[in-house]
Structure 1
Amino acid sequence: MTVVDNEPITFDVDAAEGFLRMFHIAHPEAGPVGPRLAAMRDEIAETGTYRHTTEELAYGARIALRDSGWCTSGVPWRRLKVRDLRGFRNAAAVAGECVEHLRLAANGGEIRPLVTVFAPDTPDTPGPCIWNEQLIRYAGYGDGTGDRRYTRFTDAVQGMGWRAPATPGRFDLLPLVVETAHEGAKLFTVPPDVVREVLLEHPELPWFGQLGLRWHAVPVITNMRLTIGGITYPAAPFNSWFVGSEIGARSLADENAYGAARPVAEALGLDTSTERSLWRDRAVVELNRAVLHSFDLAEVTITDHHAESRHRLSWLRSRQRTSGNRPAFRLDPSAALRARTGGPARFSPAPSETTRPHSPGRLAELLRQRAGG
């Protein structure tokens, strides 16, 4: 039995039946559900799992994105493009299609929401997984340069062979880490020419541009697993578009990330000696204004946190009760840990794989013992 994240791969038949009933209710043109349920049960009896049709996969991914709360305001979830790449299991192929996902999603600045679904977990062959939290993340170094949230991840990929630029910068692209059961964890460089970045300036503060801040245009989330009808797709990157405060308040202002609030406050002449002056709050407002202004100026899709708050309230009022039968994007604690620390690996070696390779002499001895027995 294959073990992933120290848990065996299991299958939920009830979830499969629940999802297929849900799909057929939403798609009466697909015909009665009975024959599909019978075919699913036969397939599970023969192989231990079943395969979604293209239509079932697309519907499940759309519902998962809508119900999981990751669908930002304005995203037409019913028309969400789902890329069916379930035949891709090798690390290089997965990495290459992640880059293609980024290219398609960037779409000249008019961000296109996408989901790319790679091979699922099966009883015999687990699917690939991606360690990175997002396809585009910036390195963090021990001296405080860069994104401090990813200092340990940066250390880990350096230990795996990644080389930082000769002069490390604040916005060095981290490599993509793709892990498969048969290849282990592999590093892949994200080509800079497919990464659209927005240089940040302020609508009223001419000195702001001298801070040298920038951010990437497309948030492609890569370390959440997609579950649909009992089947788990451990690699299913998806994107909508940024909420401005995700960049300004969480990534740039936060002391544990870029810590940009303090230099902005100092440039504004604020009293940073005490938190009671609320210098941090005022700096965050200007950072958020700069992000929205710069993305609009660059004609890159973005939304603000006020519009997003209204959208989330509407979503909370209308969302379905959580159920194990409903499709969802989920983040496992182990996946969250990998995205920040660069480990542990998802695939635990089987007992036969934990032993050292036998020497030819030792193999001959074992064969003689077996023959004598």
Structure 2
Amino acid sequence: MLLEQVRIFLEQYTAENKLAQSYVEERLQQFTAAGAVDYTIEEMDYALKLAWRNSNKCIGRLFWKSLHTFDRRHLKTVQEIYEALLAHIDYATNGGKIRSTISVFDPSVRIWNHQLIRYAGYKTANEIIGDPASVEFTQKCQELGWQGAGGRFDVLPLVIQVGDAAPVVFDIPKTHILEVELRHPTLEWFRELGLKWYAVPMISDMKVEIGGLDFVSVPFNGWYMGTEIGARNLADSERYNMLPIIAEKMGLDTSKNMTLWQDYALVELNRAVLYSYKEDGVSIVDHHTAVEQFLLFEKQEQQAGREVTGNWAWLLPPMSPATAAIYHRPMDNTKHKPFYRYQQAPYQNR
């Protein structure tokens, strides 16, 4: 059964890279003789690119070929893995000129974090300070001995586990963390809100299946679409919930929905995000340009003889979705392997 799934992947790899047909049988014979499947770095690299190309929820797939792979499957100790994660952060951040990057580790490795860099959330008797989405993980970090400063934007530590050994907590030195302080092109008071966000979204809790093998620690990143920060992370009522505060500072009437105060505040928050990232030289894309890039991706895939699948609800930007050219179009959400998928957090088993 495993070798059949391996064959399917190798046939796609061979066809798309225009290799000799004998390649598949040669590799299968090698795996059979060794008694184990061990993909080459070239095979892994292409599989991880394919997984991005097949990611139905991702609007940024135009750049799938640019993904840079760090093969870290040989690393066995938490210290080595920690250092590799810092190297990933540095390479991907690149002083703000963000590079799409992925690191692949041995299946025995688990990274507990949702993202390599993310803000803590502290639950107090009266409120949540920081990011409400991080409360559970923050509590786990505290149980493991980490003590955050209790602020709104404290970067969480990395938590790394190898096999059945106890997880180990590592702080991320500030020199490895690039953040953007948010300000507005015309609203001078915006800076006083004290908002900021980290430069690179590095997802670290998803897995990918490649030819029947699960790789459960494959942290990867692109760069932000502005609305991920401005229309979700900072705006959602279950996250930082900044719209009421911004609306009040703008002098808007928040007593009734029909004044559209949320819409006005949302636009200005997103303007601030895009303006600040651009001013600081940090890669970011607005949602209108992201849609245009997705349409170009579709065109390229059609020229290659491949149909694009996608999750309509995720591909539509969370802001002004009706302006997107894909708004009125039905979309096939069929999933093709390999692709990145969710998995249960290891600390939820404890």
TM-score, scaled to structure 2? 0.84
Aligned partners of 1:252 and 1:330: how far apart in 2?
Answer: 25
Distance in 2, matches of 1:97 and 1:139, equals 22
* 1:137 and 2:118 matched: yes
Secondary structure of the residue that 2:13 maps to in structure 1? Answer: helix
The residue number in structure 2 matching 1:148 is 132
Residue 24 of structure 1: aligned partner: 14
Distance 1:211 1:93 in 2: 39
Rounded to whole Å, the distance in 2 between the matches of 1:94 and 1:138 is 21
Which residue of the partner structure matches residue 349 of structure 1? Answer: none
**Distance (Å, rounded) in 2 between the aligned partners of 1:184 and 1:133:** 18
Change (3 A) 1:162 1:26: same
| Structure 2 residue aligned with 1:66 | 53
Structure 2 regions of 5+ residues with no counterpart?
310-331
How far did 1:31 drift?
A: 5.6
AA partner of residue 31 (structure 2):
M
- Does residue 319 of the first structure (1) align with residue 311 of the second (2)? no
* 1:1-373 to 2 correspondences below 5 Å: 12-29=2-19, 32=22, 33-43=24-34, 46=35, 49-69=36-56, 73=60, 76-120=63-107, 127-142=108-123, 143-165=127-149, 168-312=150-294, 318-319=307-308, 326-332=337-343, 334-335=344-345, 342-345=347-350
- Closer, same or farther in 2 for the Cα pair 1:42/1:198, shift >3 Å? same
Is the partner of 2:168 in helix, strand or coil?
strand
Aligned-residue offset at 1:237: 0.6
Larger Rg: 1
The 3-state SS of whatever aligns with 2:153 is coil
- SS of the residue corresponding to residue 130 of structure 2 reads coil
**Partners in 1 of 2:120 and 2:254 — Cα distance?**
28
Preserved contact between residue 72 and residue 240 of structure 1 (Cα < 8 Å) = no
Pairwise CA distance, 1:315: 5.2
Q: CA deviation at 1:311?
A: 3.6
Kept in 2, the 8 Å contact 1:89–1:118? The answer is no
Measured after TM superposition, the shift of residue 323 of structure 1 is 8.0
**Kept after mapping to 1: 8 A contact 2:53/2:61:** no
Gaps of 5+ in 1: 1-10, 121-126, 346-373
Stretch deviating more after TM superposition (309-318 or 208-217)? 309-318
Going from structure 1 to structure 2, the CA distance change for 1:106 and 1:40 (only over 3 Å counts) comes to same
Residue 69 of structure 1, CA deviation = 4.1
Secondary structure of 2:234's aligned partner: helix
Give the match's secondary structure for 1:198.
strand
Whether the 8 Å contact between 2:66 and 2:100 is mirrored in structure 1 is no
User: Cα distance, 1:79 vs. partner?
Assistant: 3.2
3-state SS of 1:295 partner:
helix
Deviation at 1:15, TM superposition (A): 1.4
